[in-house]
Amino acid sequence: MYTQPEKCPVCQSELIITSLACMHCDTRIEGHFQSVSNPFFKLNTEQQQFLLSFVRCEGKFNRLEEEMNLSYPTLRNRFNEIVQILGFQPNKEEATSKLSEEIRRQILEELEQGTITAQVARDKLLGKKTNKE
């Protein structure tokens, strides 16, 4: 069985499903159907292979560097590209990790004491400027 193509081989437009068939009884249904919502269908073969290697290496880029013989920046760029294709924003939560443990604890204490709202605490933890500062 072939994999479902993403784009028309002639004009590169998006394809729709117009026919379904049962592998057991050969029943056929025709119409216009929305594609199965599997986000991994959006990935090309190379990206799928990268993802398989990433999982095999348990998400450890140092092991992935050895396996694929590519530099960390190249691997990171490929990973970020896949993250974007799947509909996520790479590095969105990075600001949280840049805060020291002391600052994070202080923000959480302010929230617990009621001196800031949950939204303000969230914004501070994400490194966003708030009106309360």
Give the pLDDT confidence score for residue 75 in this predicted structure: 93
The answer to the question of residue 60 being in a domain is: yes
Domain carrying residue 120: 95-125
The predicted-structure confidence for 53-78, as pLDDT tens digits, reads as follows 999 999 999 999 999 999 999 999 99
Record the pTM. Answer: 0.47
Task: Give the integer Cα–Cα distance in Å for 84 and 89.
Answer: 6
* 105-110 contacts at long range (C-beta below 8 A, 24 or more positions apart): none
Measure Cα distances from 31 to 2, 10, 24, 53 in Å: 20, 22, 20, 38
Both 47 and 86 in one domain: the answer is yes
Amino acid, res. 86: L
Measure Cα distances from 27 to 20, 23, 102 in Å: 8, 8, 64
Contact 32, 16 (CB under 8 A): yes
| Structural domain count of the chain | 2
Give the pLDDT confidence score for residue 85 in this predicted structure: 85
Both 76 and 54 in one domain: the answer is yes
Both 111 and 77 in one domain: the answer is no
Both 64 and 85 in one domain: the answer is yes
- Residue segments in the chain with a per-residue pLDDT below the cut of 70: 34-37, 90-97, 129-133
Both 110 and 83 in one domain: the answer is no
Alpha helices in the chain (DSSP H): 45-56, 61-68, 72-85, 94-98, 101-113, 118-125
